[in-house]
Amino acid sequence: MAMELVGLPARMAGGTNPGNFVACRRDPALPSWRSGSLRVRMTPRAAAGGSMAPSNLDYRVEIHGNCQVVILVGEVDIAGVPSLKSFVEEKIADGTMDLVYDLSRVDAIDSTGLGFLVWSRKRVREQSGRLRLVTDRPQVQRVLKLTGLGRLFETYLTLQEALEAPLVPETGSPDTYPPERR
């Protein structure tokens, strides 16, 4: 994935010195919206006055009827999850009850990313909503399978399958994982 290196004034990234710039990465393939395609994270070193490190996670939303599809690109990790979590919390507070996370462009997911998926499932279910995952990436499928989390989610290979899928009973969805190739 081609990434463009850009400078962001430190005051916009949470810094205190308006003259300082920090390095950020922006995925030019994603349209800009709500500053969602530009991510900066504060590392412990940065908090102590060191350098800022960029996140390798970009996301955007597509609307399909009543369903909001969050397309994730890059690495779902400790660097990008806080921003994504805030965004999803806003969506849920605004009444979004049908979410699909498209992980088909995710390169890696760490424990923070897995925690985010579990948190999302809990928050959506508290609102009597529905959360589905789309992934055809073997590395993401493997992590979901090894951790046992794949059985918690409705998981599909394509976005079309996820959008057309009938509602799965509340008992979980062990029959949808791992997704089968058709």
Structural domain span for residue 20: 1-54
**Do 40 and 65 lie in a common domain?**
no
Residues 54-77 pLDDT 10s = 688 999 999 999 999 999 999 999
**Phi then psi for 148, rounded to 5 degrees?**
80, 0
Give the CA distances from residue 80 to residues 59, 109, 134, in Å, rounded to whole numbers and listed in that order.
Answer: 10, 11, 19
Pairing type for strands 38-41 and 53-54 reads antiparallel
Give the strands of the sheet with 154-156, arranged side by side. 57-64, 67-76, 98-109, 130-134, 154-156
Alpha helix positions (H), 16-110: 44-47, 81-93
**Do 114 and 45 lie in a common domain?**
no
- Which range has the worst mean pLDDT, 36-40, 82-86, 87-91, 153-157? 36-40
**Do 32 and 92 lie in a common domain?**
no
Pairwise CA distance, residues 45 & 12, whole Å: 18
Residues 87-125 pLDDT 10s = 999 999 998 899 999 999 999 999 999 999 999 999 999
Look up the CATH number of the domain holding residue 161: 3.30.750.24
**Do 100 and 162 lie in a common domain?**
yes
**Do 45 and 100 lie in a common domain?**
no
Number of domains in the chain: 2
SS3 116: helix
**Do 97 and 156 lie in a common domain?**
yes
Return the closest-CA partner of residue 74 out of 87, 59, 89. 59
pTM higher than the cut 0.75: no
Residues 5-32 pLDDT 10s = 333 333 344 444 444 333 444 445 544 4
SS3 31: coil
